[in-house]
Structure 1
Amino acid sequence: MSTEEISQRLFEARRAGVLLHPTALRGQYGILGANARQFVDFLAKSGLSVWQTLPVGPTHSDLSPYQSLSAHAGNPEFIDLSELVTLGLLRPEELEPPEKADRRALCKLAAERFFNGEGQLRFPEFEVFCAEHGDWLEDFAIFCGIREKLPGMSWPDWPAPLRDRHPEAVAEFVRNNADSVQAIRFEQFLFQYQWHSLRDYAAAQGVLLFGDIPIFVAHDSADVWANRHLFKLDDEGNPTVVAGVPPDYFSPDGQHWGNPLYDWHAMANDGYQWWLQRLESQRQLFDLLRIDHFRGLESFWEIPAATPEPRFGYWVAGPGRSFLKACFERFPGLPLVAENLGIISNEVEQLRRDFRLPGMTVIQFGFDGSPDNPHLLHRHEPGDLVYTGTHDNDTSLGWYQSLDDHTRGYVNQYLGTDGTGMPWPIVDAAFRSVCWLAIVPMQDFLELGSEARFNTPGTVEGNWTWQLDLSWCTDELTEKIREAVSRHERIRL
C-alpha cells in the first residue's frame, strides 16, 4: 500500500485518541520504557487508536516543548535508564537510589561502555544512525557540546570564532572534547532506539503516534546556529524581527514568542531543503503530523526586535503554495494536519483546502454566542479533527466551572445536559462529531479541574509539569471510554 493510500485511510476512518505529552509519564528512570508501554496498553484496551503528543525535542530550562534546542533531535530526558540495564550498558546498583541518579553522567557511562564493545547494541547500528541523520546530528552534537562548556550562554554570546562557526575553531573544539560530543551523538542513538521500540509496540496494538511540528524554532538552537543564512538575523546572530501573534481569544494583548523568523526567499532558493529534512525526521517518529500555527505559511505576524510589543507587528506573506507543493512532491500522501486556530483568514482556509489538509475544531471555542461559530458541533466537517480542548486551554472541567451563568446555561442547553458528570458531556459531544478524529486530553478523561492544566499561554511559571499517575487508568475508566468509542463508532481498524 502506498503512503498516499495509507494517508487516505487514516483520514477516512472514524477514530478516537488522547492528547498526552510523554513527560506526563515520567517514571523513576525515564519515560520511554515500562510507563509508556503501560499507557499504550491502556489506550488499546480503551479502544483509543491515536496518541497525540507535543513536540519531543530537547527543551530549555522553561521546559516548553515549543522552544527546543533542535527541530530534529529527541529529548534525552525521555531515555529510560532502566532499559539500559537490560541492554547491558548500566548496572542495577548504579541506578540506586533513583532520586540521586545523575542522568547525564549515567548516559556518558553507558556511552563509554558501548564504545568499549559492551552491551547488546552494536556499533554498526550506531554508524548507520549517524550516517542517516548526518544532516543535523553533527551540528547538534557540537552545539550541545559547546553549551556544556559555556553553561548559561546563548550561542550569540559565545566567542566569535565558535559563534560564527569558523572551521578551525569548531574542529579544534571537537578534537578537545571528542568524548563529550560522541556521548551526545550516542544519546540521540538511544532516544531513537527506545522511541522506535515504543512505536513498534504501539503499532502492534493498533495505536498510531501523532506528532506536533512548531512552525518556528527557538533562537538558541542548533538549527539557527548552523543555518544563520535561513533566518532574519543581524551580523552577530541576533534576530532583527521575531514571531508572535496579534491579540486574539488566546491572549487579548497578543503574544510575543521571540522566535527568529525565516528568510523564506533564502529557503526557496534550495527548494526548502531544511524544512524537508525536518519533515523527514518527524516522519520517522510519527504516523501523523500537525503543523502548529499553520496560518504562518500563508502570512505571519512579524514583530520588530527593537519594538517587541505584539501590537507593533504586521502581517507578512508566507511561502504558501510553493512550500506545500515542495512538501507533497517530496512526500506524496504526507499525513499532515493544519492547526488553524486563532485569527484565520479566508486565504489561510483556502490554502488549507487546496492541499486537502484536515483542520481543527475545539468544543470549548464554540460558545461565544455567534451562530456561525465553526467550533459548534453542527458546523463541524467530516475531514477535520475535533478536540474537547488543547494543551493551551484549561481542562474542560476547569473551563466549564469558570464560565459565567449565561454561557454555562448556553453550554448546558446546546449539549443537552444539566452539568451532571462534567466534563463527560463535552467528551461525548466530541465523540459524536462528524469529524474523523476526536482527541481528548487525558485530564478530561480523568475529570480533572484547573489544577491539572498543562499550559497557560503568556505565562512562564508552572507550565509543562503535570504528571499522570498510571493507577488512575482504572478498569472502570477503560470500560467507560471503550463504551463511548463503540457507541460513536470510533473503532480501531
Structure 2
Amino acid sequence: MHPLYRQRRGGVLLHPTSLPGPLPRGQICHDAYRFIDFLQQAGITIWQMLPLGPTHADGSPYLALSAHAGNPELISLDWLQDRKLLDNPAQVTDFVQHRQQLEQAWKRFNRQRPRELFAAYEAFVAQQAHWLNDYSLFMAIRESQQHRAWTEWPPPLRDRETSALQRSRSELAERVEFQCFCQFIVSQQWRDLKQYANEHDVKLLGDIPIYVSLDSADVWAQRELFTLDSAGHPQQVAGVPPDYFSETGQLWGNPLYRWAVMQQDNFLWWRQRLQTQLALFDIVRIDHFRALRAFWAVPAGATTAMEGHWVEAPGDALLETLHESFPELPLVAEDLGMITEEVHALRKKFGLPGMKILQFAFDGDPNNHYLPHQHEFESLVYTGTHDNDTTLSWYRQLNEQSRRHVREYLGLSDDTTMPWPLIRSALASVSCLAIVPMQDLLGLGSEHRMNTPGTLEGNWQWRFDWEQLPVDLTQKLRHLLHLYGRL
C-alpha cells in the first residue's frame, strides 16, 4: 500500500474551478491558498479534485483537449503581476479578458526574458517536449481553424503530413510559443500551490479519466493508439451499460484504445501520462478502473450504450508495468458500477483502495457492500461524488420507507440534521480515507450539484462562497476527525 493509505485521514472533494473568485470559474489564486488554510485548521489532510486539463466549451474536465496539459483558465493574474509580467491588471470578469491579460504577460515575458524565470521556461519546454510539442501545435492550428475539431481540418493537417505540419509550425510560431508559455505558467503556479499544501500537511488527490477526448492533442498526435478509421473517426466508442445513473447506459463517445499497440512499447503512453499527473498530485484516482479488466465497446453511430459489449483489457500487464516504474503505485481505483470478482482481484493484487459511496448503501439489503459495516480499510468512503446529488437533496428525494431505513441504520430520531449524520458515518467508517464533497459540508441542496451524468447542460459550474461557511465548521470538523482517529 502507498504510505498515504497506512493511516486514517479525512478529505474534502472540491475542484479548483469551484473556488470563489471574480471569474466565472475558480483559479489558482489567493482563494486556493485560503482553502488550504481552511483544510489545515479543520485537520483535513486530503484535497481531492477532478482532472485539471484544458476543457472544451462544455467545461467537462473528463473530456479535455490534452491528457498532459493544464487548463490555462486556472492561471492567476495576481501571480503574473507579482513577478512583474503584468502591471496592475484591470478588473477581469470573463475569460476573454483573462486571455488578453495572458497575451500581454507573454509579450512582456518574451521581450524582457527575466533570467531565472526564462531559464525555468526553457527547461520546462525541453523536459515536457514529449507532449508539449504536439499539444502547442495542435492548439495553435485549432485556433487558426476556428476551434473546429481536428477531424474537420484540411486532410493534410488532419493526417499530419510532414510538409503541412512544418508549414504550420513556421506560420504559427508565435501562437505555438504562447501555448507553451501558458503551460509553463500553469505548471509553475500549480507547483507553488502543491508545495504550500504539502507544507501545511495537505496532500493532493487527483483524477485520471480512463479515456481521452477524440478532439484532443493526444488522439491527433498518436492515432495509431486508438480505434479510428482513416479519416480519424472512431470505429467503436466508450460507454457503460445500464446502471444506477441511466436505464439505457451512458454513451460517452470517447475513442477506445488499441491495447495491443500500446503493449508494443511497454505502455509508454500510460507511463508518461502517470508521470505527468504525479508531478501535480500526491496520489491519483483512475476513473472507471473496471475498464482495465474489461471495457464496454459500443459501435460508432449507436444511439444508446445498450448496443455495446464487453471486451477484455490487459489491465494486469499495464499495472505491472506501472508498478515497476512507480513502486508504491499511488493510485485509487474508481470501482463503481458493474464490478466483477475479476475487477476486485485486479485491484487487490496491486494494493489499490476502492471506493465506497454511502448514497448507494441504503437499498434495504444488510449485505450491501457500501454500508459502513461492510467497509474495509483499503478503501475510500464518500458521502457522494461529483456525479451524485448532494446528500441533503439525495435524502429528501428518498421515499419515506427509504428515509426511515436510513434513520434506523444511523440511529436517528428525525431527519432535520442531514447531511451531518452521513458525514459522521463516513468519518467513523473503517475505510482509511473518508472524503466529503464541499457541498455536503455546507449542507447544500441539488441546485449546487457538480454534475448530472447523461446531461449536457448546467454541469461543472458550481462555486462556493466563503460566506457560506458556518462559523463553527472548522471546529466541528476537527472534533469529528479527532473523535474517529483521522486527525
The answer to whether residue 39 in structure 2 is matched with residue 43 in structure 1 is yes
Residue in structure 1 matched with residue 440 of structure 2 by the alignment: 444
SS at match of 1:136: helix
CA distance in 2, matches of 1:75, 1:478: 30
Aligned to 1:457: 453
The residue type paired with residue 71 of structure 1 is A
Residue 251 of structure 2 aligns with an amino acid whose one-letter code is H
- Report the aligned-residue RMSD: 1.3
The aligned residue for residue 3 of structure 2 is 9
- What corresponds to 1:374 in structure 2? 369
Q: Distance in 1 between matches of 2:409 and 2:37?
A: 35
Where does residue 334 of structure 1 map in the other structure? Answer: 329
Between 474-483 and 374-383, report the one with greater CA deviation.
Answer: 474-483
Could you tell me how far 1:87 is from its partner in structure 2?
A: 0.8
- Counterpart for residue 217 of structure 1: 212
SS of alignment partner, residue 17 of structure 1:
strand
Indicate the residue corresponding to 1:179 in structure 2: 174
Query: Does the 8 Å contact 1:296/1:318 carry over to 2?
Result: yes
Question: Is residue 28–residue 193 contact of structure 2 (8 Å, CA) maintained in 1?
Answer: yes
2:14 to 17, 20, 29: 20
For residue 308 of structure 1, report the CA deviation from its aligned partner: 3.7
Cα–Cα, structure 1 residues 85 and 486, in superposed 2: closer, same or farther, change >3 Å? same
Residues 429-479 of structure 1, C-alpha deviations (whole Å, 9 max, x = no match): 000000000000000000011111110000011111010102323441111
Tell whether the 8 Å contact from 2:290 to 2:339 is kept in structure 1 after alignment.
yes
Deviation at 1:12, TM superposition (A): 1.1
Q: Secondary structure at the match of 1:281?
A: helix
Find the residue that maps to 2:381 and give its secondary structure: strand
1:287 aligns with 2:282: yes
Q: Which residue of 1 aligns with 2:60?
A: 64
Answering whether residue 313 of structure 2 is matched by residue 350 of structure 1, we say: no
Could you tell me how far 1:328 is from its partner in structure 2? 0.4
Q: 1:115 offset after TM fit, Å?
A: 1.4
- Partner amino acid for 2:231? E
| C-alpha displacement of 1:346 | 0.9
The yes-or-no answer on 1:365 pairing with 2:360 is yes
Structure 2: 5+ residue stretches without partners: none
Residues 229-255 of structure 1: CA deviation (Å, up to 9, x unaligned)? 000000000000000000011211100
% same residue:
49
CA spacing shift, 1:267–1:99, aligned 2, 3 Å = closer
- Residue 26 of structure 1: how far off its partner (Å): 4.6
Task: Give the distance between the partners of 2:296 and 2:55, measured in 1 at CA.
Answer: 24
In structure 2, what is the Cα distance between the partners aligned to 1:152 and 1:74? 18
Distance in 2 of aligned mates of 1:329 and 1:233? 30
Which amino acid is the alignment partner of residue 469 of structure 1? Answer: D
Match of 1:323 among 285, 308, 318: 318
Q: SS of the counterpart of 1:95? A: coil
SS in 1 for 2:280: coil
Amino acid at match of 2:459: N
**Contact 1:113–1:119 under 8 Å retained in 2:** no
- Is the deviation greater in 108-117 or in 271-280? 108-117
Matched, 1:163 2:158: yes
CA contact (8 A) 2:92 2:98 kept: no
From the superposition, tell whether residues 187 and 152 of structure 1 become closer, same or farther in structure 2 (CA, over 3 Å): closer
Amino acid at match of 1:8: H
Match of 1:3 in 2: none
1-side partners of 2:310 and 2:283: how far apart?
29
Q: 2:3 is aligned with what amino acid?
A: R
Residue type at the aligned position of 1:179: E
CA distances 1:209-238 after superposition (whole Å, capped 9, x unpaired)? 000000000000000000000000000000
Q: Kindly provide the CA deviation profile for residues 79-133 of structure 1, in whole angstroms up to 9, marking residues without a partner as x.
A: 01121111100111x3235458612221121111111125575211111101111
Q: What pairs up with 1:404-443 in 2 under 5 angstroms?
A: 404-417=399-412, 418-443=414-439
Which secondary structure state, in structure 2, belongs to the residue aligned with residue 284 of structure 1?
helix
Query: Aligned residue for 2:264?
Result: 269
Identify the residue that residue 4 of structure 1 maps to in structure 2: none
CA contact (8 A) 2:355 2:381 kept: yes
CA contact 2:136–2:179 (8 Å) conserved in 1: yes
Specify the alignment match of 1:239 in structure 2.
Answer: 234
Q: Which whole-Å CA distance do the structure 2 matches of 1:325 and 1:205 have between them? A: 33
Contact 1:87/1:119 (<8 A) preserved: no
Secondary structure of 2:112's counterpart equals coil
> In the superposition, relative to structure 1, how do residues 354 and 85 fare at CA in structure 2: closer, same or farther (>3 Å)?
same
Partner secondary structure for residue 18 of structure 1:
strand
1:304-354 C-alpha deviation (Å, 9 max, x unpaired)? 003242111000001121111011011110211100000001111111111
Measured against aligned partners, the alpha-carbon deviations of 1:282-318 in whole angstroms (never above 9, x if no partner) come to: 0000001100000000000000003242111000001
Classify 1:277/1:476 alpha carbon distance in 2 versus 1 (closer, same or farther; 3 Å): same
1:50-129 counterparts in 2 under 5 A?
A: 50-92=46-88, 94-96=89-91, 98=93, 102-117=97-112, 122-129=117-124
Aligned to 1:150: 145
| CA distance in 2 between partners of 1:334 and 1:117 (Å) | 42
Does the 8 Å contact 1:42/1:473 carry over to 2? no
Extract structure 1 runs of 4+ deviating beyond 4 A: 97-101, 118-121
Distance, in Å, in 2 between the alignment partners of 1:401 and 1:63 is: 29
Compute the TM-score of the two structures, normalised by the length of structure 2: 0.97
Which 10-residue stretch deviates more, 469-478 or 417-426? 469-478
Change in CA separation of 1:72 and 1:100 when aligned onto 2, cut-off 3 Å:
closer
Contact 1:377 1:433 in 2 (8 A): yes
Is the partner of 1:401 in helix, strand or coil? helix
Which residue in 2 is equivalent to 1:191?
186
SS of 1:289 mapped into structure 2? strand
* Residues 20 and 466 in structure 2, CA contact (< 8 A), matched pair in contact too: no
- Gaps spanning 5+ residues in structure 1: where? 1-6
